Structure 1
Amino acid sequence: MQIKNKIFVGALAVVISALLWSLDGTFLRPHLASLPPSFVVFLEHSLGFVILLPFLFIYKFELKNITKKQWLTIFWVALFGGALGTTFFTKALFLTGFVDVSVVILLQKFQPIFAILLSAIILRERFPAKFYIYAFLALIGGYFVTFKDPTSINFGNATTMMAIFSLLAAFSWGSSTTFGKYSLKNINYGLLSALRFGFTIIIMLIPAIKYFSTLSSIEPNVWKTLAIIVFTSGAVAMYLYYFGLKKIPASLATLCELAWPVSAVIFDYFFNNNILSITQITGATLLIISVTLATRLNKTQTISGIVLPGANNGEKVGARTANLDVALAKDLAKGLYSCKVSLEGTFYRGLIYYGFNSLTNKDCLEIHILEFNDDLYGKNITATTERYLRFPKKFKSVEKLSEQIKKDLSQSFSE
């Protein structure tokens, strides 16, 4: 029950933060159009940092636990998530003239795609073929969301520039989500929020300093809007988001974040009287569904079952495997994964393969436990996928299969 409550509270926090961000883009941020985007970002983070400053003192003892790698990731989160992402997003909103504001927010659904692709580049991960299909469909959806008339495009107009800045924001925020989850490993979410805002102020000081002379001329209504942003979509929403992110899996967080684009369309209608065209609604639907399906492919899968008798081909190819019922892999994309194996209360590293078996000429589900040679028949085994390593392959000979298995094992031992 406690776990369910924890997940519910975490999911609710992410949904609330998503709703606040939606309110920001459709209602609050338009009131800041008189200021340069970089100055807006500097001011909102400066005010937000004041609110989050107590966390630096309350959790200062955790600062010494932050590793050099974590400091780098926190800086990355501040640079891309705080400085660049928010600046690009604000610029994109201003370019719309606050017509179809929800389009900018809908294009933020590319964030998971960028996050996954970034992890592929940095961690050299591979993904099931379906991922690239879904990513392509998402691009098509994004195209139709952006242009009300898809047949008439001027690459120099404001709409195109809005789309470019929106996608840059999506990339920036997507990358910061990837590193943000890592940064939360051993520090408080309030402390991370404070550090993110603090670093963002330092970064944005360079482009914002030339506007300091205009501080006295900023109208009271603008300051009021900035204050509201701080206590809603700014510092408070960021705190809620990291609070929720620490309590729920990334896959669930992605689903909860769907509250952002959906509510944006609704808010944009009520606040700005903007309605998406049929083409844009179709594109938005395709975009959201494609990104959701692509994200689901990247989540971990747990498979548990009784080890079945096999064909005893392990000795031939140089790796003994535990055979499981193929039906257990119904939700698993075909391919080879690194995994964590649980056997009789002990955890091991291993490989799990689901796909065509060149020796039996049919699909199989096999688990190889690294540095383990005991008999597994009849035992219950549980494996949780970690990284997708490669696509399934067909081999014309046992020798070729054996060579590939040696490569797979070598890659696993080197991780």
Structure 2
Amino acid sequence: MKGVAFVAAGAALWGTDALFRRGLALELPTVEVVFWEHLLLAVIALALVLPRRANLRALARRDWLALGLIGGGSSVAATVLFTEAFKHGDPTTPLLLQKLQPVFAAGAAYLLLRERLRPRYFLFLAAALGASYLVAFSDPGDVTVERLLPAALGAGAALLWALGTVLGRHAGVKVPPAQLAGLRFLLGLPVAFVLFAALGEGVRAGAGDVPAIVALSLIPGLFALLLYYRGLKDTPAATATLAELSFPATALIVNALAFDTVPSGTQLLGTALLASTVVALTLGEHRGWTGVWIDRPRRARWA
């Protein structure tokens, strides 16, 4: 039970992201927000990585490539897309679309780790995409480019984070979770700096932005990740998925109170359908009676 509580607490902290990110995204260039976030986290990450430098000597070139993709793609690029989504439309859509990650992760595991997909996976994928459509549009019959953009950005971030999960599964065989999180931020920082230097508008953040940047980096960032990893050690995957439902619940409550953003009936229906799809997918994979993919991979491309 203690492990479940840690997972639920970490996921609940993820739901507070918009409380800090949305104001920064509306005021500062997206790449600057992501750069400051990664700079602070990289400094903290040194304490997680340096004490176990010996572990890094066992990493092969492919392991470093996987870690580089996690840092530059799943951490920096995904966060850029996610932050940009807050500049367009309501803050709820990009948050709720992150529940697509387990569905995308199954497909990425097939492509990169060569885990075999069963045909029923595509039923789950279709259900998840249909639910995401309901989440993305308060009026499903009124689809415009303006309404589509934040949904596309949020889904793109979910896809990159799912890729990070799969590559993290590969790297996690040799790297402990806390050190893996630290390397993610350290390797992502150079990419964030290059994007900030190339696409930014100079340093626009002021002293008034510091509290929000620090809170964003620590609360839905580092603290949430450490709580989640702590709980995941003692929690089965299927149970963890149920506990992670505290994330969309917190997001809906925070956005309703802080931004007066109340989802429509169809968005709530889509949220329930998306959550149910993810739970069914994970329960089936865990129990074996409706397994979505077989954890007996062919020759993995990242082996």
Comparing 116-125 with 138-147, which one deviates more in the overlay? 116-125
RMSD between aligned residues: 2.5
1:61 aligns with 2:54: yes
Comparing 139-148 with 62-71, which one deviates more in the overlay? 62-71
CA distance in 2, matches of 1:210, 1:232: 28
Name the counterpart of 1:105: 95
CA distance in 1, matches of 2:207, 2:30: 18
Tell me how many residue pairs correspond in the alignment.
299
1:180 aligns with 2:168: yes
Deviations 1:190-211 (A, max 9, x none): 2212111011101112110147
Q: Percent same amino acid among aligned pairs?
A: 27
| 1:135 and 1:291 in contact (8 A); partners too | no
TM-score (norm 2): 0.89
TM-score (norm 1): 0.66
Name the counterpart of 1:368: none
CA distance in 2, matches of 1:131, 1:121: 14
CA distance in 2, matches of 1:333, 1:244: 24
Q: 1:93 aligns with which of 76, 86, 90?
A: 86
Return the structure number with greater helix share.
Answer: 2
Return the structure number with greater strand share.
Answer: 1
- Residue 256 of structure 1 and its aligned partner are, at CA, apart by 2.6
Q: Which has the higher contact order (CA 8 A, sep 6+)?
A: 2
CA distance in 2, matches of 1:12, 1:85: 27
| 1:83 and 1:203 in contact (8 A); partners too | yes
| 1:85 and 1:170 in contact (8 A); partners too | yes
Name the counterpart of 2:254: 267
Distance of aligned partners of 1:148 and 1:274 in 2 relative to their CA distance in 1, 3 Å threshold: same
1:43 aligns with 2:30: no
Distance of aligned partners of 1:186 and 1:209 in 2 relative to their CA distance in 1, 3 Å threshold: same
CA distance in 2, matches of 1:126, 1:188: 26
Name the counterpart of 2:210: 223
Runs of at least 5 residues in structure 2 that lack an aligned partner in the other structure: none
CA distance in 1, matches of 2:62, 2:235: 23
Runs of at least 5 residues in structure 1 that lack an aligned partner in the other structure: 1-7, 302-330, 338-384, 390-410
Question: Which stretches of structure 1, 4 residues or more, deviate above 6 A after TM superposition?
Answer: none
Task: Name the aligned partner's letter for residue 42 of structure 1.
Answer: F
1:306-321 to 2 correspondence within 5 Å?
A: none
1:154-169 to 2 correspondence within 5 Å?
A: 154=144, 156-157=145-146, 159-169=147-157
Q: Secondary structure at the match of 1:142?
A: helix
Task: Name the aligned partner's letter for residue 214 of structure 1.
Answer: G
| 1:113 and 1:295 in contact (8 A); partners too | no
